[in-house]
């Protein structure tokens, strides 16, 4: 019987054997789904900020940032038996949840997160096969390790599958 593995904010994990990864509260954060269709290894990361380079804390949680978390997730999948050449990505989130506030560090953070995720996936040569990003509403994301499907649920918008 499959189980559900919850991924928190600034967290990541992998799933196999039909298990489902889920992350809640994707507002300006971005969920990155990686999937190898042959080994059926799925990985999900919930990033909060675009780059660790903006922070000088040597103890910063690397799973929080697009430019470090995606590579950690990829390596975890490779260690479990996925092959890099087969891995594909799907992404969701990066919403503009609140009216922009002049010159705050969080102004446009959703869009900056989306750009950082896409740049990191391009750097790692992982193609994006589906995305549900931007707009102005939160999302819950489910990633099924059986088939790599990404299901999105939104309180006011319903649900759909990629």
CATH level 3 topology of 4-161: 60s Ribosomal Protein L30; Chain: A; (3.30.1330)
Reported as a pLDDT band with limits 50, 70 and 90, residue 104 is low
pTM of the model: 0.93
Of the residues 12, 29, 48, 109, only one is catalytic, namely 29
Going from N- to C-terminal start, the domains of the chain cover 4-161
Annotated catalytic residue 29: yes
Strand ranges, E, within the chain: 4-7, 11-15, 20-26, 30-36, 41-47, 88-93, 128-133, 139-144, 150-154, 158-161
Please give the pLDDT value at position 101: 62
pLDDT of 32-84, one tens digit each?
Answer: 999 999 999 999 999 999 999 877 777 789 999 999 999 999 999 999 999 99
Reported as a pLDDT band with limits 50, 70 and 90, residue 13 is very high
């Amino acid at each position: 019987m499959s189980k559900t593995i919850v991924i928190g904010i600034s967290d990541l994990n992998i799933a196999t054997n039909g298990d489902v990864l889920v992350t809640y509260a994707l507002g300006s954060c971005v969920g990155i789904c990686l999937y190898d269709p042959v080994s059926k290894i799925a990985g999900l990361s919930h990033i909060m900020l675009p780059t660790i380079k903006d922070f000088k804390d040597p103890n910063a949680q690397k799973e929080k940032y697009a430019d470090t978390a995606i590579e950690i997730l990829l390596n975890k999948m490779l260690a479990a038996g996925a092959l890099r050449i087969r891995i594909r990505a799907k992404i969701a989130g990066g919403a503009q949840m609140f009216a922009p506030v002049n010159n705050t560090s969080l102004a446009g953070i959703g869009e900056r997160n989306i750009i950082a995720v896409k740049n990191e996936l391009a750097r790692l040569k992982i193609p994006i096969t589906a995305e549900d990003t931007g707009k102005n509403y939160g999302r819950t994301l489910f990633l099924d390790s059986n088939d790599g499907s990404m299901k999105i649920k939104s309180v006011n918008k319903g649900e759909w599958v990629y």
